[in-house]
Structure 1
Amino acid sequence: MGLNKKQKKQIDVARKKIQNFRQRLTGAKEQMDDPQEVKNLEQEIANQEALIKKIQEES
């Protein structure tokens, strides 16, 4: 069964968040003012990727 509109929207939003987090991560790695920020951003990316995977598996 394919994804419904709500699931597609959730995945789209999650992908946009990942893109945003990756851009922020690049900036955070260049400056390294706050090493914890790098860890937090990496965790957020992993969380969003896990959410996408979960939605796809449920369909």
Structure 2
Amino acid sequence: MALNRKQKKQIEANRNKLNALRQQLAGARKQPDDPEDIPRLEAQIAKLEAEIEAIRNG
């Protein structure tokens, strides 16, 4: 199924958020100041990936 403009924009925004979260996760793994950061960031990444899939699948 082809994506409309709104869906493409949502996916693009989520990808930008994913990139930022992945950078934060890499930094948190290098310097684990707060042990809660890594699981929280991983959960947020998983949620955004699930949202992207939901948009793609309609």
TM-score normalized with structure 1 length: 0.94
Matched-pair identity in %:
48
Deviation track 1:5-27 (CA, whole Å, cap 9, x = no partner) reads 00000000000000000000000
Q: Identify, as 1 or 2, the structure richer in helix.
A: 1
Q: Give the length in aligned residue pairs.
A: 58
Paired residues for 1:1-59 under 5 Å: 1-58=1-58
Root-mean-square deviation over aligned CA pairs: 0.6
Runs (4+) off by over 3 Å: none
Unmatched runs of 5 consecutive residues or more in structure 2: none
